[in-house]
Amino acid sequence: MRKAFSLLLLMLASLSIYAGGSKEENTITIWHQFTGTHSQVFDEILDGFNSTVGKELGVTAEGIYQGAANDVLAKVKAAAGTSELPEIAAMDATACLDMKESDYLITADDAGIDKNLLLPAAVRAFTSERGLLAVPFCCSSLILYYNKDVFDEANVILPRTIDEFTAIAHLVGKKDADGNIVRYAFAGTPTTYELGAFIGAQNGLSYMVDGKNGHFGIPRKVLIETDGTFRNFLIHWKQFFDTGYVLNTADQVQEFASGRAAAMLNASDHLPTVQRLVGDRFEIATAFVPMTDENATGGVNIGGSALFMFSDSDAVKAFMDYILSKECQQKWAEETGFLPASNSVYESNEFKAFLDEHPLYRTAVDQTLSSNPEVTGIWMPSGYQIYHTYQSEIQKVTEEGKDIDQAVSDMADFIQLQLDDYARQNSAG
Amino acid sequence: MKSNNLKAYLLLMPSLILAGVFSFFPLAKSIIGSFCTISQQGEIIGFAGLDNYISLFSDKAFVSSIGHTLLFLVIFLPLNTLLILLAAVLTRRKEKHTAIAECIFLTPMAISLSSMALIFREIFRGRISIINRLFSMDIPWLESPDYAIAVLAFLGVFLDFGIDYILLLSSFRKIDKSIIEAAAIDGAGDLRTLFMIELPEARPMLAVIVFLAIKDAVMISAPVMILTAGGPFRSTETIMYYYYLEAFRSGNHGAETSIATLMAAFSGLMVLALAKWRKHDEIC
Residues A191 and A266 in one domain: yes
**What CATH architecture does domain B51-283 belong to?**
Orthogonal Bundle (1.10)
Question: Distance between CA A219 and CA A196 in Å, rounded?
Answer: 16
B144 contact A CB<8A: no
Whether A240 and A262 map to the same domain: the answer is yes
What is the pTM (predicted TM-score) of this model?
A: 0.80
Cβ–Cβ gap A254/B128 under 8 Å: yes
Predicted local distance difference test score (pLDDT) of residue A9: 52
Q: Is residue A14 part of a domain?
A: no
Domains of chain B by residue range: 51-283
Query: Considering the domain boundaries, does residue A1 fall inside one?
Result: no
- What average pLDDT does this structure show over B221-232? 91
Q: Which tens digits make up the pLDDT trace of A28-69?
A: 999 999 988 899 999 999 999 999 999 999 999 999 999 888
- Nearest alpha carbon to residue A333 among A282, A384, A368, A289: A368
**Domain count of the fold of chain A:** 2
Instruction: Compare A417 and A306 and report the one with higher pLDDT.
Output: A306
Instruction: Say which CATH number the domain at A132 has.
Output: 3.40.190.10
Mean pLDDT, chain A, integer: 90
Helix (H) or strand (E) run with residue A210 in it: helix A210-214
Look up the ipTM and state it. 0.70
Label residues B154-184 b or e (16+ Cβ within 10 Å = b).
Answer: bbbbbbbbbebbbbbbebbeebeeeebeebe
Tell me: the pLDDT tens digits for B35-49?
999 887 778 888 989
Percentage of residues of chain A with pLDDT beyond 90 = 74
Q: Are A106 and A76 in contact (CB under 8 A)?
A: no
- Residue B283: pLDDT over 80: no
How many Å lie between the alpha carbon of A257 and the closest alpha carbon of chain B?
11
Interface of B with A in 194-213 (CB under 8 A): none
The residues in A 64-93 lying below 8 A from B, measured between CB atoms, are 70, 74, 77
Strand partners, A131: A128
Residues 80-139 of B with CB under 8 A from A: 125-128
Give the domain extent around A41: 25-138+302-363
pLDDT at position A309, please?
A: 97
Final residue in a domain of this structure, among A363, A392, A410:
A363
Q: Per-residue pLDDT tens for B119-162?
A: 999 999 877 789 998 998 888 899 888 899 999 999 999 999 99
Among A417, A425, A426, the residue to mutate for chain B (most B Cβ within 10 A): A425
- Other Cβ atoms less than 10 A from the Cβ of B89: the count is 17
Counting one residue from chain A and one from chain B, the pairs whose CB atoms sit within 8 A come to 87
Do A129 and A149 lie in one domain? The reply is no
Show residues of chain A in contact with B251, CB under 8 Å: 77, 98
Distance of alpha carbon B26 from the chain centroid: 22
pLDDT of residue A429: 44
Contact indicator for A368, A195 with CB cutoff of 8 Å:
no
Cβ of residue B22 closer than 8 Å to a chain A Cβ = no
Residue A64's nearest CA partner among A93, A94, A92, A84 is: A84
| A16 domain-assigned | no
Name the H helices within A22-161: 36-51, 53-57, 69-79, 96-101, 120-125, 148-154
Q: Are B258 and A427 in contact (CB under 8 A)?
A: no
- Cβ atoms < 10 Å from Cβ of B12: 11
Read off the DSSP letter of residue A97.
Answer: H
pLDDT digits (tens, 9 = 90+) for A142-155: 999 999 999 999 99
Q: Which of A77, A392, A421 sits opposite B234 (nearest CB)?
A: A392
A27-32 vs A60-65, strand pairing mode: parallel
> Under an 8 A CB cutoff, do B250 and A251 touch?
no
Q: In A33-49, which positions are buried (b, 16+ CB within 10 angstroms) versus exposed (e)?
A: bbeeebeebbeebbebb
Asked if A340 contacts A329 with a C-beta cutoff of 8 angstroms, the reply is: yes
pLDDT tens for each residue of A391-424: 989 999 999 999 999 999 999 999 998 888 888 7
A87 and A178 housed in the same domain = no
> Comparing C-alpha atoms, which of A417, A110, A111, A168 is closest to residue B58?
A417
Q: Would you say residue B105 has pLDDT above 60?
A: yes
Residues of B in contact with A381 (CB under 8 A): 250, 252
Q: Nearest chain B Cα to A254, which residue? A: B126
